[in-house]
């Protein structure tokens, strides 16, 4: 019995085997001719012994048993086709059920992968809104350092602000928030947002000539585009 074969299929197969066995027995009995045997027996009877009239003879028990077996075989033969049809139908239903189970199993595996992927994305990008609120603080610290006085009296203060700015950027980097520089790089409409253009003899056309606001990535996703001025190239005389 195969994995897809049910107990009903096994019972039907056993019934069909029984029918085939009875068919073979019936064929074997047909090869045996009792009338020829009776004729040989009559020839061997001693002279003077009368053969009983055929009308007074009763059928021997073997003939009665054979007739009952024939009736049973004929009945089974009639139901053989029905049994085969039932067997074919149950096998088809079992195959359909197996195919359906295979599809459901594949769908469930895809569902588990999708849920796992969504869970990972939720962990990686769940704090995206909070990071967008923190990034302007990094911008302002950078601007403060750019505008800080350069005299010796303010050196300690400037160094302290640099340290705070670096600590903040390092903390963001541990969560996947990393800034990128755009000055002098080719203009990328995915990572850059152009706020204007200007001629520039030192920077090729369609390259970033000035960066107004730094861009940031959150892992492999753009968190904030950089605001840039795009070079139009050198002015022709």
- Residue that the structure tokens 């203060």 belong to: 157
Out of 44-53, 182-191, 223-232, pick the least confident: 44-53
The CA distances from residue 197 to 2, 17, 194, 205, 235, in Å, are 75, 90, 8, 10, 13
Q: Where do we find the tokens 């054979």?
A: 66
Q: Taking residues 215-223, what's their average pLDDT?
A: 94
Query: What percent of the chain clears pLDDT 70, i.e. is strictly above it?
Result: 72
Q: In this model, does residue 32 exceed pLDDT 60?
A: no
Residue 50 scores a pLDDT above 70: no
Token output for 162: 């640099």
Q: Where is average pLDDT lowest: 17-21, 70-74, 173-177?
A: 70-74
Does position 22 have pLDDT exceeding 80, yes or no? Answer: no
Candidate from 8-12, 137-141, 145-149 with smallest mean pLDDT: 8-12
Is the per-residue pLDDT at 194 higher than 90? yes
pLDDT digits over 121-144, tens only? 888 888 889 999 999 999 999 888
183 pLDDT exceeds 90?
yes
Mean pLDDT of 182-204: 93
pLDDT band at 61 (very low <50, low <70, confident <90, very high): low
Which domains are assigned to the chain?
A: 7-125 (no CATH), 128-231 (2.30.22.10)
The region of weakest confidence among 36-50, 79-93, 112-126, 188-202 is 36-50
Sheet holding 177-180, edge to edge: 177-180, 215-218, 221-224
Q: Look up residue 152 and give its DSSP letter.
A: G
Looking at residue 175, what is its pLDDT?
92
Q: Give strand ranges (E) for the chain.
A: 177-180, 192-198, 208-213, 215-218, 221-224, 226-231
pLDDT reported for residue 149: 81
Answer with the residue of higher pLDDT: 23 or 104: 104
Instruction: Give me the chain's average pLDDT, please.
Output: 80
Q: Is the pLDDT of residue 46 over 60?
A: no
């Amino acid at each position: 019995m195969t994995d897809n074969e049910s107990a009903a299929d096994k019972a039907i197969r056993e019934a069909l085997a029984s029918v085939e066995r009875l068919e073979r027995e019936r064929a074997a009995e047909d090869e045996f001719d009792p009338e020829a045997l009776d004729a040989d027996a009559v020839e061997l009877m001693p002279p003077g012994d009368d053969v009983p009239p055929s009308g007074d003879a009763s059928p021997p028990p073997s003939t009665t048993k054979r007739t009952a077996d024939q009736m049973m075989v004929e009945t089974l033969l009639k139901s053989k086709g029905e049994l085969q049809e039932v067997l074919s139908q149950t096998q088809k239903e079992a195959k359909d059920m197996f195919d359906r189970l295979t599809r459901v199993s594949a769908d469930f595996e895809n569902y588990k992968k999708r849920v796992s992927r969504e869970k990972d994305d939720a962990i990686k990008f769940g704090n995206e809104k909070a990071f967008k609120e923190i990034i302007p603080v990094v911008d302002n610290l950078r601007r403060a350092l750019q505008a800080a006085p350069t005299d010796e009296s303010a050196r300690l203060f400037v160094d302290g602000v640099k340290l705070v700015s670096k600590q903040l950027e390092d903390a963001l980097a541990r969560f996947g928030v990393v800034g990128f520089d755009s000055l002098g790089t080719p203009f990328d409409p995915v990572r850059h947002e152009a706020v204007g253009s200007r001629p520039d003899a030192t920077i090729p056309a369609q390259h970033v000539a000035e960066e107004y606001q730094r861009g940031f990535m959150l892992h492999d996703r753009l968190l904030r585009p950089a605001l840039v001025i795009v070079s139009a190239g050198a002015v022709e005389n």
